[in-house]
């Protein structure tokens, strides 16, 4: 059996040092041996906001065919004194009243990881505001979820959180974190948190396939065919009702839609590399102006919702609402958004009885080729981070135990326990070995109350080594639109344009970034909509440069080259 406490020779040396040193360590921070008080503290006062919906699983869709293994069969071969730690997570389920299933879950996690964990649960809402206060007061759990914001960065640089950079590759699951995501999670070359994996190639566009076919158009694969499609959707009565009531591209005020399309033109993802090997901001490139000219032309053609035809102008629609307001209502024929939001247009049409699951009315793609080849605008590949505080975790030996704990939670058998529960009690396996969840009534009849495991997924990074894959997964998707979505997520990863400045923090940008960004955002909108001409755009770009853009660029390059680039 694989020993989960030792993955590399270095860890083997660590074991003896930790066994001898646990008692002494405990006197420094309450983290020793079987002291159940350990580093526990009172729960945080309030909850977390952006993770309220729970974590997306990064699991694959294929099952190995094995049954779900009990963690009791996966115990480490080497017994060590449990290290007491505290972990703060968010959960919409009130875990203040414990139950036997919750206690059983905690017990099995502790046995598998050889830890003694006190879990602090907070409701959704204002977790990060409270976390900022806790950072200032020092009232922190040993493991916390953190945002990439100024408060966290400052605290990390001041030594509140452990620098994890040089440790991650010592752990089989954590070592699989891709280089691009590591850089996105770093600050001036150092990682103070473990990124929680999310879909990287998540952006693209979606369009009415039935309108395309009715008008005899080809699928949009380049900018010309994309533009032609938008024109036809606007002026050739694609819905056949004889009324001028459609528009090609239906947008809202989310500026990310422009970033997605800019990428197709070769515009850097915020920061690129120039011919001299220096960082260059996207607004200083010719590609940026080329893209804006193309968008201005689309707007002048009337193929973007501009307030005419009884439609709301895109800049007056709340970000994210274009799908519901324009695409599901058949006012617009194309949208630029995250793929999972666009996929819901097709499923909405199915629900409304306008089409079937097998017959697509709406389809999606990740990009069109403007002559630059396939290019996709990525997410940062993560949803916040897990950080280890130094309040009680004071020694390197203790840190390695905590990292081993976070690593082992991402073993497939442990992830399945946290998410699926127990075979024949909360789920069964079908004839192909896929997980079939029991309904709430069946679970409760088996003594497993609803929500006993809610929130535990928030401690997972979802980075897992191949040899630690889940022994069983839920059935793969079967609907064509879901299969297309998953295909695009996978196929477009090689085309994602990395932000070459990610991980470097300019002081000037930290101080004045919002105001400087506003200069570009305002000029961009005014130029696209024809409120200013090219001379006005150039003046705005110059204003950005003199107001701080030049200084930011110099600071970013100093950091970039100082890191050995």
Please check the confidence at residue 44 and state whether its pLDDT lies above 60: no
Average pLDDT over residues 179-191: 94
Q: How many CB atoms are located within 10 Å of the residue 189 CB?
A: 15
- Classified as helix, coil or strand, 375 is coil
How many other C-beta atoms lie within 10 A of the C-beta of residue 528? 24
- Separation of alpha carbons 561 and 461, rounded Å: 30
564 or 223: which leads in pLDDT: 223
Q: What's the pTM value of the predicted model, to 2 decimals?
A: 0.85
Looking at residue 73, what is its pLDDT? 55
Assess contact for 38 and 86: CB atoms under 8 A.
Answer: yes
Please name which of 61, 55, 63, 57 lies closest in space to residue 477, comparing C-alpha atoms: 61
Residue 386: C-alpha distances to residues 120, 139, 151, 238, 365 (Å)? 14, 16, 15, 49, 33
Q: Dihedral of CA 394/166/201/466: which sign? A: negative
Indicate whether 30 pLDDT > 90: no
What's 546's DSSP letter?
Answer: I
> Strands, E, within 390-535: which ranges?
427-429, 435-437
Do residues 248 and 232 touch, judged by C-beta distance below 8 A? Answer: yes
Q: What is the pLDDT of residue 47?
A: 28
Bridge-based pairing of strands 247-249 and 332-338 is: parallel
d(CA 402, CA 193): 12
432 CB burial (10 A radius; 0-12, 13-18, 19+): exposed
Inter-axis angle of helices 534-544 and 507-528, nearest 10: 170
Is pLDDT of 246 > 90? yes
Report, in this order, helix, strand and coil percent for the chain, each rounded to 5.
40, 15, 45
Mean pLDDT over 455-474 rounds to 97
Residue linked to tokens 């200032």 = 136
What's the mean pLDDT when you consider all of the chain?
A: 88
The pLDDT assigned to 359 comes to: 97
Residue 38: the pLDDT is 31
Secondary element (H or E) of residue 256: helix 256-264
d(CA 181, CA 335): 27
- Supply the DSSP string of 167-225, one letter for each residue: TGGGSTTGGGS-HHHHHHTEETTEE-SEEEE--SS-EEEEEEHHHHHHTTPPP--BHHH
pLDDT score of 76 = 52
Residues in the chain: 565
**Cα 294 from Cα 124, distance rounded (Å):** 42
Distances in Å between the Cα of 18 and the Cα atoms of 12, 86, 232, 519 are 10, 19, 69, 54
Distance CA 93, CA 57 (A): 19
With H, G, I as helix, E, B as strand and everything else as coil, classify residue 497: coil
Longest Cα separation, the chain = 83
Over residues 404-428, mean pLDDT: 98
- The Cα 315–Cα 437 span in angstroms is 43
For residue 432, what are its two tokens? 């192909």
- Structural tokens at position 559: 């950091």
Helix (H, G, I), strand (E, B) or coil at 427: strand
In sequence order, which ranges of 352-439 are alpha helices (DSSP H)? 396-408, 412-419
- In this prediction, residue 58 has a pLDDT band, given cuts at 50, 70 and 90, of very low
- State residue 79's pLDDT score: 61
Worst-scoring range by mean pLDDT, 47-51, 184-188, 190-194? 47-51
What integer is the mean pLDDT of 313-330?
A: 98
Question: According to the model, what pLDDT value does residue 11 have?
Answer: 38
pLDDT of residue 318: 97
Long-range contacts, stretch 17-21, CB < 8 angstroms, 24+ apart: 17/397, 18/80, 18/397, 18/400, 18/401, 19/80, 19/81, 21/395, 21/397
**In 10 A of CB 356, how many CB atoms?**
12
Above 80 in pLDDT, residue 548? yes
Q: Write out pLDDT tens, residues 425-458.
A: 999 999 999 999 999 999 999 999 999 999 999 9
In this prediction, what percent of the chain has a pLDDT beyond 70? 86
Tell me if 54 sits within 8 A of 458, measured CB to CB: yes
pLDDT tens digits, 131-160: 888 888 889 999 999 988 888 888 999 999
Beta strands 115-122 and 83-90, pairing class: parallel
Q: How confident is the model at residue 42 (pLDDT cuts 50, 70, 90)?
A: very low
Mean pLDDT across the stretch 511-518? 95
Q: Which two tokens stand for residue 139?
A: 């009232």
Confidence category of residue 98, pLDDT binned at 50, 70, 90: confident
C-alpha radius of gyration, the chain, whole number: 26
Q: How many Cβ atoms are within 10 Å of 564's Cβ, its own excluded? A: 6
User: Which has more pLDDT, 35 or 505?
Assistant: 505
Residue keyed to tokens 């403007």? 370
Given pLDDT bands bounded at 50, 70 and 90, which one contains residue 94?
Answer: confident
Residue for token digits 């369009």?
A: 207
pLDDT of 537 above 60 = yes
Q: φ and ψ at 249, to 5 degrees?
A: -115, 115
Strands (E), 441-551: none
Q: What is the pLDDT of residue 260?
A: 98
Residue 482 burial by CB count (10 A; 0-12/13-18/19+): exposed, middle or buried? Answer: middle
Rounded to whole angstroms, how far apart are CA atoms 239 and 565? 54
424: left (phi over 0), alpha (psi -120 to 50) or beta: left
Sign of CA dihedral 14, 17, 19, 25: negative
Quote the percentage of the chain above a pLDDT of 90: 78
- DSSP code of residue 373: -
146-180 residues labelled b (16+ CB within 10 A) or e (exposed): bbbeebbbebbeeebbbbbeebbebbbbbebbeeb
């Amino acid at each position: 059996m694989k020993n989960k406490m030792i993955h590399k020779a270095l860890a083997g040396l660590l074991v003896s040092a930790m066994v001898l040193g646990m008692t002494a360590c405990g006197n420094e921070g309450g983290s020793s041996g079987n002291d159940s008080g350990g580093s526990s503290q009172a729960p945080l006062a309030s909850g977390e906001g952006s993770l309220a919906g729970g974590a997306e699983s990064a699991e694959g869709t294929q099952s190995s065919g094995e049954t779900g293994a009990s963690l009791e069969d996966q115990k480490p071969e080497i017994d060590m004194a449990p290290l007491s730690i505290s972990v703060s997570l968010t959960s919409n389920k009130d875990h203040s009243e414990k139950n036997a299933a919750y206690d059983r879950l905690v017990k099995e996690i502790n046995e598998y990881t050889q830890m003694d964990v006190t879990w602090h649960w907070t409701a959704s809402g204002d977790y990060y505001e409270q976390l900022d206060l806790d950072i200032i007061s020092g009232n922190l759990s040993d493991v916390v979820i953190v945002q990439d914001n100024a408060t966290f960065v400052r605290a990390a640089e001041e030594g509140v959180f452990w620098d994890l950079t040089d440790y991650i590759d010592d752990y089989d699951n954590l070592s699989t974190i891709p280089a691009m995501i590591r850089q996105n999670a770093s600050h001036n070359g150092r990682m103070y948190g473990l990124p929680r994996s999310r879909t990287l190639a998540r952006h693209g566009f979606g369009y009415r396939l039935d309108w395309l076919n009715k008008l005899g158009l080809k699928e949009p694969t380049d900018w010309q065919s994309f533009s032609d499609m938008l024109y036809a959707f606007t002026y050739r009565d694609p819905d056949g009702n004889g009324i001028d009531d459609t528009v090609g591209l239906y947008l809202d005020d989310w500026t990310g839609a422009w970033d997605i399309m800019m990428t197709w033109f070769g515009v850097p993802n915020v920061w690129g590399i120039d011919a001299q090997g220096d960082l260059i901001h996207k607004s200083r490139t010719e590609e940026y102006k080329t893209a804006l000219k193309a968008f201005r032309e689309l707007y002048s053609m009337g193929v973007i919702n501009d307030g005419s035809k009884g439609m709301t102008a895109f800049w007056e629609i709340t970000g994210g609402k274009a799908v519901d307001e324009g695409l599901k209502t058949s006012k617009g024929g194309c949208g630029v958004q995250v793929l999972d939001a666009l996929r819901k247009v097709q499923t909405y049409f199915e629900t409304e009885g306008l089409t079937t699951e097998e017959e697509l009315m709406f389809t999606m793609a990740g990009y069109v080729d403007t002559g630059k080849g396939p290019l996709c605008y990525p997410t940062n590949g993560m949803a916040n981070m897990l950080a280890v505080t130094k309040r009680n975790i004071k020694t390197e030996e203790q840190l390695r135990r905590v990292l081993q704990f976070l690593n082992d939670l991402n073993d497939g058998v442990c992830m399945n326990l946290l998410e699926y529960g127990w075979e024949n009690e909360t789920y069964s396996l079908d004839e192909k070995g896929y997980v079939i969840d029991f309904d709430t009534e069946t679970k409760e009849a088996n003594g497993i109350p609803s929500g006993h495991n809610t929130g535990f997924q928030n401690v997972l990074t979802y980075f897992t080594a191949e040899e630690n894959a889940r022994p069983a997964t839920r059935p793969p998707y079967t609907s064509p639109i879901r299969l297309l979505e998953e295909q695009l997520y996978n196929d477009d990863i090689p085309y994602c344009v990395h932000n070459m400045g990610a991980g470097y923090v300019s002081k000037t940008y930290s101080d004045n970034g919002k105001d400087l960004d506003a200069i570009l955002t305002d000029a961009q909108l005014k130029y696209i909509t024809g409120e200013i001409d090219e001379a006005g755009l150039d003046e705005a770009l110059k204003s950005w440069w003199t107001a701080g853009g030049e200084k930011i660029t110099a600071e970013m390059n100093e950091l970039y080259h100082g890191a050995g680039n």
